[in-house]
Structure 1
Amino acid sequence: MTITTEPTTETSTFAPPQTGAPAAGFAASATDAVKTYGRGDAAVHALDGVTVGFERNRFTAIMGPSGSGKSTLMQAVAGLDTLTSGSVAIGGVELSSLNDKQLTRMRRDKIGFIFQSFNLVPTLTARENILLPLDLAGRKVDRDWLDHVVSTVGMGERLRHRPTELSGGQQQRVAVARALVSRPEIVFGDEPTGNLDSRAGAEVLSFLRTAVRELDQTVVMVTHDPIAASYADRIVFLADGRIVDEMLSPTPDSVLDRMKRFEY
């Protein structure tokens, strides 16, 4: 891994907060997060003391070379993996303070997930897939909110179709709606446009952008794509398990320029 040291551009606000806790009021945060695989000389530090906060009602992208720790960070903050040391919190609640049942409820009620592979149930219609989290939780449907979410992602006329009858972009729109329907504290996307062509990917990213702007949602997305990252309000760059840079109001060109400092 090589990181150059030329001065950052005006879009960077990076000041490495590698110790202490992030300020209060974040939708999610990690404090001194360490994730180590193996022991002794074979130990690999996927996360090496990361402290970061994800602000409410903002769209944040996480970028970095392969093996930089970006997916590990997202999985830890989303409660899908545990840390070796340090802490993560959702809505001010430290996940380490929860038992397995409480953590499952937290993931179900407070967190939305969008995966690269869509993860739709093939035997269910689009509408049934969208409502699946509420059905599993035994929660009533807020029909006004459902209509609003479906309208936002543009799937109102395809709700009776099964996944095999939908394009990849339409399937991912259904996945976005499913992530939003329970009004989660935060939505995590793991390369959500990785299996889509550029047009479908742009549509899904526009929907995520709209969800932040119009539905007051908070989105954190892992991506390697500078165009996808440019839809975010903020980009956090990782390398070797540490935050090494940050960018606000990114554009595709500014992201590409910043990526030249790393060996991708």
Structure 2
Amino acid sequence: MPGEPMTTDTAARTERATKIYGRGETAVTALDDVTIAFGSGRFTAIMGPSGSGKSTLMHCLAGLDPLTSGQVFLGETDLSTLNDTALTKLRRERVGFVFQSFNLLPTLTAAENITLPLALAGEQPDDDWLDLVTSTVGLVGRLDHRPSELSGGQQQRVAVARALATRPDVVFADEPTGNLDSASGAELLGFLRHAVDEFHQTVVIVTHDPVAAGYADEVVLLADGRVVDRIDAPTAEVVRDRMVVRS
């Protein structure tokens, strides 16, 4: 059944998650009683039409937006039990996030942007790990450059390396290829796929692109704030067909 918890180890999950924006007649239900789990060490794509709740689900999973009712768990940690300080610490240490707009600080070099989460936590980077990450995403030789000196694809590589720098439990990416050309987008998705296959990272992306979804192990389809389908071992063609059926 769509939306039922997975039986494998889970990196993140929701139980009866509901998110309502506004009140009264203007209230909008973005998530409607969603129970779903995301397996550890897997690449999952969340898809659905505009307004289906896919970005809201990701933001709630990442602790960026609180639920109206229900629960979100990162591992076994119930996010609703955390105060603001503890939630900030959890996001910094256990969650990586890749934004469509990159969100790099223009005055910092690529290396400084990558290690920023560690610096904010007062922690020293693991140089061997960072060397592995930066070489994997192809940034060797560009680490002393500021964002204005990098192409869009290179800036997005910095964003991916930053998301991986703390070895988070989950990397979330919201439309990560939205501002990239097709070649740069394919490179980025390849890096995320490599992070799952070689680093055993858990990756969850929101995308509208069936080609991007084809890099994932699983696709979750949302409509009207509910999970309506799940596709294992997706291909772009299968995703397109299922989305047409659901539209």
**CA distance in structure 2 between the aligned counterparts of 1:255 and 1:76, rounded to whole angstroms:** 24
Alpha-carbon shift at residue 38 of structure 1 (Å): 2.5
Match of 1:160 in 2: 144
**Alignment pair present for 1:61 and 2:18:** no
Q: Residues 5-63 of structure 1: CA distance to partner in whole angstroms, max 9, x if unpaired?
A: xxxxxxxxxx1346xx6657311001100011233333221100000001110000000
Once the two structures are overlaid, the 10-residue window that deviates more, 219-228 or 254-263, is: 254-263
1:139 to 111, 123, 128: 123
Match of 1:174 in 2: 158
**CA distance in structure 1 between the aligned counterparts of 2:16 and 2:123, rounded to whole angstroms:** 36
Tell me if the contact between 2:6 and 2:39 (Cα under 8 Å) persists in the aligned partners: no
Alpha-carbon shift at residue 253 of structure 1 (Å): 0.9
- Root-mean-square deviation (CA, aligned residues, Å) is 1.2
**CA distance in structure 2 between the aligned counterparts of 1:145 and 1:248, rounded to whole angstroms:** 31
**CA distance in structure 2 between the aligned counterparts of 1:92 and 1:151, rounded to whole angstroms:** 32
2:200 to 198, 203, 216: 216
**CA distance in structure 2 between the aligned counterparts of 1:223 and 1:17, rounded to whole angstroms:** 18
**CA distance in structure 2 between the aligned counterparts of 1:182 and 1:60, rounded to whole angstroms:** 20
**CA distance in structure 1 between the aligned counterparts of 2:35 and 2:195, rounded to whole angstroms:** 26
Alpha-carbon shift at residue 157 of structure 1 (Å): 1.4
Q: Which runs of 5+ in 1 are unaligned?
A: 1-14
Match of 1:6 in 2: none
Counterpart secondary structure, 2:104: coil
Match of 1:84 in 2: 68
Paired letter, 2:220: V
Paired letter, 2:169: E
2:213 to 210, 214, 229: 229
Q: Residues 68-90 of structure 1: CA distance to partner in whole angstroms, max 9, x if unpaired?
A: 00001000010000111000010
Matched residues, number: 247
Q: 1:27 to 1:246 in 2, by over 3 A?
A: same
**Alignment pair present for 1:30 and 2:20:** no
2:242 to 235, 251, 258: 258
Normalising to structure 1: TM-score of the pair? 0.91
Paired letter, 1:75: H
Tell me if the contact between 1:234 and 1:247 (Cα under 8 Å) persists in the aligned partners: yes
Paired letter, 2:144: R
Match of 1:98 in 2: 82
Normalising to structure 2: TM-score of the pair? 0.97
Q: Residues 175-200 of structure 1: CA distance to partner in whole angstroms, max 9, x if unpaired?
A: 00000010001000000110000000
Tell me if the contact between 2:71 and 2:79 (Cα under 8 Å) persists in the aligned partners: yes
Tell me if the contact between 1:22 and 1:29 (Cα under 8 Å) persists in the aligned partners: no
Tell me if the contact between 2:20 and 2:28 (Cα under 8 Å) persists in the aligned partners: yes
**Alignment pair present for 1:16 and 2:30:** no
**CA distance in structure 1 between the aligned counterparts of 2:74 and 2:46, rounded to whole angstroms:** 17
**CA distance in structure 1 between the aligned counterparts of 2:156 and 2:22, rounded to whole angstroms:** 36
Q: Which runs of 5+ in 2 are unaligned?
A: none
